[in-house]
Structure 1
């Protein structure tokens, strides 16, 4: 299918329901319908929006957070599940690409997950935040290099990162080297205060300029009642306000619509895809402006697993050390299998 020269993008800044995954999911489906009714080809939701971002972990000490952490486990999303099926069906019904942040449950662990559904409902990317930030490390496990991938969709080549992954220049470069055209950014919002929003704006505008791509960023919103439900301490409540910067940025680093910094809403803007070449004609940081013979990125793009078994075998052999101090599994592996260089694909 020929790609559209103009893509209408939507970024949702809405509040989750802090009591139920099902109720938050209902808000997602309603936002998809609303964005589609306005002609949107893409909608982006905030970081771990379903069932909700673990705001409690930012204001509660670990010894007091167990109850809320367990409740998050109970409401978290498995992939696939009825929840992901519902989002896929909505994407397919409305012909819209959906970028959804979830708390993904994988048996006994939670992960910060990002899901991309194509306009036909196909799940084209499932990735996990590679390094949770500060308080988040008590909540989520770590992702791996398999999620640092750019995927083709009906509207172009899409890449995604969550929150402070944008402060990892090599993670960003991995997506840039795969020629992303629209970058999905997701942040929690309603945290830290205005400085968080200011830093976020600098970050996403810089990535748009450096990558020569569009950036669609969504942040979450908390109502006053929700903030009080998270903590009755008025001093700590200040840490759960501000920090919203739902925005849509062009490859020239410009806002394509006034950003949403307060309240709920759906930001919509048209992306003129010809601006990508206009920017890269002057500065293509992974093309004519690169010096790969001097500087290049190597990435291990394999999915990690706690167990690797040979075909038709579920027995785990005891580790044997070689005389050089390395175990057999490591020494039997070709060095080229340990480190894979990012392979660029024509955009």
Structure 2
């Protein structure tokens, strides 16, 4: 599930893209960034028996750690949250970029099914964190609370997951000035013909420009007219 302006570039996954893999280390699954805030997505992974829940992110706020601890407690699983550590010097030189010296402060952490922080969170710089995982902790945590087991109420609450692959939508090319973008959109050509106009808000160097533009569908291309 792409976030905010990511949707300009990336399309949407389907239910087949949220598997839980059987490995010698345990059952491993993952959700990226704010996908981890989607309760039904998490529930689908819990129902598949995820034991090691991986949560790569770009969110280095302290409140992110609260979400990670909640997921570990909720799912009765180990949570491995990984982020980047980068400074202003790692970005291109134009002076228009206004960042503090630390742009993303990491926050990597490993959390047990009982909510105990086994390693991290690290905010000091690039680092490799590690912890020994006792999968027996999962059984002990679920003896107390099992969201898809003895604590569930399937006669009242249920979740339906469409986990089969969907047919891919067409790729459309959009030219904005000198930039050519390729979008995977959740619209078919017939649906496109029904959309006469959109309102576009472009943000550039802190300024906001509003334009009315029309998408003209021509075989496999959309032409963007300002």
Deviation of the 1:199 alpha carbon: 2.2
* Separation in 1, partners of 2:10, 2:134: 37
Q: Distance in 1 between matches of 2:105 and 2:61?
A: 4
Runs of 4+ aligned residues of structure 1 deviating over 6 Å after TM superposition are none
Give the corresponding residue for 1:200: 64
How many residues get paired? 169
Q: Please point out which of 57, 77, 81 is paired with 1:187.
A: 57
Preserved CA contact (<8 Å) 1:185 1:215 = yes
In the TM superposition, residue 263 of structure 1 has moved relative to its aligned partner by 1.2
Q: What are structure 1's unaligned runs of at least 5 residues?
A: 1-130, 190-195, 308-347
What whole-Å deviation, never above 9, does each CA across 1:160-197 have from its counterpart, x for those lacking one? 100000111000000001111100110125xxxxxx42
- Give 5+ residue unaligned stretches, structure 2: 170-226
| Higher share in strand | 2
Greater gyration radius = 2
Q: Whose RCO is larger (CA < 8 A, sep 6+)?
A: 1
For residue 289 of structure 1, what is the aligned residue in structure 2?
151
- For the residue of structure 2 that corresponds to 1:271, the secondary structure is coil
Q: Is the 8 A contact 1:197 1:242 kept in 2?
A: no
TM-score normalised by the chain length of structure 2: 0.70
CA distance in 1, matches of 2:51, 2:94: 40
What is aligned with 1:233?
96
Q: Would the aligned equivalents of 1:145 and 1:299 in 2 still touch at CA under 8 Å?
A: yes
Match of 1:213 in 2: 77
TM-score (norm 1): 0.46
Of the candidates 10, 13, 17, which is equivalent to residue 140 of structure 1? 10
User: C-alpha distance in 1, partners of 2:67/2:95?
Assistant: 32
